[in-house]
Structure 1
């Protein structure tokens, strides 16, 4: 196996060639925050929370989609990065209607936890307050578009692990919306198997199971990594 050497926060490490910066950093105890990344799925760099600094350039790089290169020197934390991450989270908070006190995922939300870790107590931008629907047409699950951050984790897990291709993102920019089966109600989606992988992949309260009290709405995002790893093992068996 070909390896490369680089520095992350001053520490010299050696990792396999082609590995992404995020994976290399986490394997060596460096915490880089993420929202759209989920182990076991392809990386898209959608949320831009995992940006890092590369010595020799002013450009920030998304750690989840940037492969390691020999001789790199990376910083995963700095005042500039913290400010950038705060801005990214604040923009996510104002884009939809994230009212934690009345959300079923309050206390179990990755967006909320990241905002708390960055000490975000208020936002500097005006709220969009869009009028978004809650789709309860599925017999088992609910999609609340007010909580969606368009991370596309549900899109990728449905396509890559379940192979059902129920979810997609329609439109562009501020008009982007998560849709199922050509923008029909989720309950009418013929390809949906009801497996619940999208529920487990969702980092917020956008996708949840019906009939459970908030205290029981635990999500096991590690399940996705376990399924992906087991399928990789079977393919190489």
Structure 2
């Protein structure tokens, strides 16, 4: 484009020119925060909101079905299946709100701090101007880190966000286990819920439908909860 040879470092050098005024120490944390914020907005929240709506639909559908409530898996007092599912709806609402509460710190970008937070070699005003442009391009209210030394040296915002992910995983684990338990059977289990058959259950046990979606979800939840310990 500038008349140079493809693959050469002249007239534009990738380190001396393209990365001028930048450091991996401020660009990487900023890029990580931006990427996670986009994933939460574009993928996680829509998925959770869709799940919430599905559970709300089932709660209304089951509003007149009376069943026995259980404590310690023993018979307790009656409630409707719709009321039981309304509890699941609230769990997902709470999970979404918990994640939202962690976002302000995730939106803080340490760009412009360069190597250690002093901003050495960066043009004055680079950080705030860059954050403003990123916010305009993404539609996410990113802000400039109030302390660049903290923003570069720590990833506490990731730990905070993942703490909310961990709570979400615990909620989904509980919901999945409940549905799997209530759908046990078909003859000698509870059989209160009819689970969809995603694949053949068994060639020797007629009517057996394995709750594979519940199983898959609990495994993902276990991975998320394990990740929390790693962070």
Shorter-normalised TM range: under 0.3
TM-score, normalised by the number of residues in structure 1: 0.22
Higher percent of residues as strand = 1
Larger radius of gyration: 2
- The structure in which a higher percent of residues are helix is 2
Instruction: Please report the TM-score for the alignment, with normalisation by the length of structure 2.
Output: 0.23
